[in-house]
Structure 1
Amino acid sequence: MTPPRTPTRGRPPAASRELLQEAAFELFIENGYTGTTVDQIATRAGVSRNTFFNYFEAKGEVFWVELDAATERLRAALADQPTDTGDASSAPLAIRQAMLRSLAELESRHVPFVLTQYDLIGSATELQASAMSRFATQARLLSGFLERHGVDAATARTHAYALIACVVSAAQEWANAGPQRGRLEPFVNRAFDTALAPLSPHDR
């Protein structure tokens, strides 16, 4: 068994979060998701149980470190775009660029554990709920941006979830591509192109 790590004094929050995530993934591989406890994760990482809850609300939250960071980058990227223009025609390109920018940092080593090791997780209601809450947060960011560009609320929500579905599909393809998969961004770009392209007769 791997001995507990000794935490570095003054470790930055991001590093501590990633340390806990790494410890959790090691234990999920060894014991399965349901067979791993928060106490075990904290011990493996060399921190206290309270420290774990300083960074994560529940065990299932450890899966989403990269997704949470991407959501914050998306928030910043959307904030950098002009708003309240009332010009709906400019919104699709702006929102696509913002989404690609938010994912640009995700390389092969960042592929979600949940997509490559799902057999170790099984059906986890807690995990599914935490994923959906994050997709809902992203949908609010995207639909809010579209509404500020003059798109009605119902249409904005539909487009927001459609774009998120493209990213989810691309992430699955990315995970299945193996160790030489490279960056996520090109997969998402292709998914956007496919979803936005007219259907051929064979697709109908």
Structure 2
Amino acid sequence: MDEPMRRGGRPRRSSAEVLADAAAELFLEQGYARTTVDQIAVRAGVSRATFFNYFTAKSDVLWLDLDAAVASLPELLAASTEPSAVRAVEEALLAAARAHDPERVPWAIAQAEVMGIGPELVASVATRVTAQHATVAAFVAGRTGDHPAALWPQTVSGAMLGAAGAAFGVWVADGVAREPLVHYVAAALSPVAAGLDEV
């Protein structure tokens, strides 16, 4: 169901977005380690239980936008009619980048040093990267008849997600001068996909 529209034509922010923004404010003010879930809930004007309706851990609020961007990846891959598995992965990653709200920049990357985000951030990133890698490798394996742990599915997944991840990092770092995310992802994926598709 679509979010209700404001008079300016923009959808209202979801409760998850309100919580993520409240958390980012607190992380910037007092640091990640000193901020509690209860404080985030109070700042957002919701209950602690509401927080856990949307997030399983405090670190999850850092990745709301990235999680949303890649949530459709399995569906995009499954629906692809592109004969080349490499090009199908490229198309799916571009579609995910295209759907990302340009105004939602992950604070965890943009302000990590100021927020004092440490090992928990690294662990939460690793969990997400591992899940994405497994999804792409399984898709490629399904197309080629290989096992997902075989060299080719692992290579395609690692190379394509690595390029997309690098593009995402540069997009964040470019600040107010940044162009749409899909431009960065397309520029990063194009030579990688071309090289892999020739193999």
Interval containing the TM-score (normalised by the shorter chain): 0.7 to 0.9
Map 1:49-198 → 2, pairs under 5 A: 49-82=48-81, 90-150=84-144, 152=146, 153=148, 154=150, 155-196=152-193
Contact residue 78 and residue 98 of structure 1 kept, 8 A: yes
TM-score (norm 1): 0.81
Amino acid at match of 2:135: L
Measured in 2, the distance between the counterparts of 1:31 and 1:194 equals: 42
Q: CA RMSD in A?
A: 2.0
Runs of 4 or more, structure 1, over 6 Å off, are none
Larger Rg: 1
Structure 1, gaps ≥5 residues long: 1-13, 84-88, 199-204
Match of 1:25 in 2: 24
Change (3 A) 1:115 1:98: same
TM-score (norm 2): 0.83
Change (3 A) 1:179 1:128: same
Measured in 1, the distance between the counterparts of 2:46 and 2:89 equals: 40
Contact residue 74 and residue 99 of structure 1 kept, 8 A: yes
Measured in 2, the distance between the counterparts of 1:99 and 1:197 equals: 15
Match of 2:7 in 1: none
Match of 2:37 in 1: 38
Aligned residues between the structures = 180
Report Cα offsets for 1:27-79 as digits up to 9, x if no partner: 11111111211110000011111211121111110011112112222122112
Structure 2, gaps ≥5 residues long: 1-12
Amino acid at match of 1:183: P
Q: Equivalent pairs: percent with the same residue?
A: 38
Contact residue 108 and residue 181 of structure 1 kept, 8 A: no
